[in-house]
Chain A
Amino acid sequence: MVDLKKYEATFLKQTKNIAKNLERFLKILSCNLDNEIAWQEGKRLSHTLKGSAALMKCENLSQLAKELEEFFSDRNFKKQRQVEHIISEILRRSDSFKGLQKINSILDF
């Protein structure tokens, strides 16, 4: 059995980095919806966050990451505000493992 506690610091650091990058990609897309790299990398990073959150038993965060992944995959920029909100919430809580564990459950799009 893996002792997940010893990976909390790595998880927090990775989550914060991912959220900052997603924020950056959203800003890029708000100026240029045709930026292929922003869409693809946004999808990849959301996908990574989904997996790592599930690994750390942060189910709500994993579900939110799935919503982000769908946003970057479907490219429906109408959901930009909701996605911004999710990302800023993740950033706000990403200094504490408990904070990420207790992150609000799925937002309705």
Chain B
Amino acid sequence: MRKILIIEDDELLGKVLFDALSASGFSTTKTIDALQGQQAVFSLKPDLVILDLMLPAGNGVELLRNLRISAQTQSLAVIVMTSYCDEEVRQEIEEVGVQGYFQKPFGHEELIKKIGNILGS
């Protein structure tokens, strides 16, 4: 079973995504801040991370950079989600390296389809 880690401080959205992804057959874990998220990446070794950009205890962009610096997580599939439509941030994220970028609000069906394409499942 493929493992997905959600790093999202919005409890409601985290729960909605968790339920949708679990119902779609993924082994899903959620965390609520950048520090817990980073720790969970290294302990759980997920196949894909869904990452919010605005997080407590750090921020999503920094976390993404840290993942790309580490040999262990350099190629880890990451989908970013954010409410901001800042083109500069989007370019920065894409330069650091992401496999998907979702503007909130979005339909969870789109997200699941994207995950399927990325993981080839």
Contact = CB atoms under 8 A, between A and B. Distances in A.
Interface of A: 2, 7, 10-11, 14, 41, 44, 47-48, 50-52, 54-56
A52 B10 contact: yes
B46 to A, nearest CB: 23
B11 to A, nearest CB: 5
Interface stretch (B12-20, B61-69, B88-96, B113-121): B12-20
A81 B55 CA distance: 28
Contacts of A51: 10, 13, 83, 104-105
B12 A14 contact: yes
B16 A7 contact: yes
Contacts of B12: 7, 10-11, 14, 52, 55-56
Name the prevailing secondary structure of the A interface residues. helix
8 contacts: A2-B108, A7-B16, A10-B12, A44-B56, A47-B54, A51-B10, A55-B104, A56-B12
B114 to A, nearest CB: 17
A37 B66 CA distance: 23
Contacts of B47: none
Given A44-B54, A47-B54, A55 B9 contact: no
Nearest to B59: A44
B83 A47 contact: yes
Interface string B103-114: 011001000000
A2 B17 CA distance: 10
B105 to A, nearest CB: 5
Q: Which of A11, A48, A52, A54 has the most CB of B within 10 A?
A: A48
Interface in B30-88: 54, 56, 83
A14 B9 CA distance: 11
